[in-house]
Amino acid sequence: MINKNYKIPLVYQKMDERGYTNAQSDLYLWLNEMEWMSIDKIEEYEYDEGETESIVPFAITGAGDKWVWIVADNGEEYSVGLCERAESNGIYYAKNTEDAILRQIIEYVASSNFYLVKDEAESYQINEKELKIQLEKWKNNFRGIINDEYINVIEKLNELSLKKIKCQYGEWYALLTLEEQDELIDKYIKFDLFDKEFEWYIEWVFILILYIAIC
């Protein structure tokens, strides 16, 4: 179980109080690739052998990778990291929880999850109307949880229209180009440890587990 001295970030406490982290509740708040854990489940988390106890998982991706708080020894607010199952090192994703939420929203509206022509849509894609409803929901539900400047960013994103994106990775429809996405992330999210690595699994244990799985 996690160390009782670890403090759940205030942003997450507010989310939990509003029912946003309870997957069994109608109040659960969906965010792309962040499937929240309730605070009760976070506090009951059992570490795997070899997993460092300096992380606190609070959400998972659709692929089962872990979103974690990286516990700071100096008393500062915990950074957010992404720990992929196939890697012994994670990456620093954001300076804190509210930055991670905004970064996830920015990256989502720049992704290929949207369509203009229904007959050409993939099963996972939504249209512009549905996207704008989701952005409005995030704006309203995160108000009072994340700072007002970030709420304004979400509001401005909702004023945009889908456009065709063309780049070396392919073509799709999104609200932002990858360049516009990176500009917003540089402005609001980037910090000194941004996308740098940290060890979340003791490497020799990780290699042993992979070896056993292969054999």
Domain boundaries, the chain: 10-95+192-214, 99-188
DSSP class of 178:
H
List the alpha helices (DSSP H) in 8-127. Answer: 10-17, 39-43, 97-109
- Rounded to a whole number of angstroms, the CA Rg of the chain reads 18
pLDDT at 210: 52
pLDDT at 208: 55
Q: Which are the contacts of 202, defined by CB distance < 8 A and separation ≥ 6?
A: 50, 51, 52, 88
* Average pLDDT per consecutive 10 residues, the chain (215 residues; last block may be shorter): 85 97 96 97 91 93 96 82 91 97 98 95 96 98 98 98 93 97 98 94 59 58
pLDDT at 87: 87
pLDDT at 193: 96
pTM: 0.91
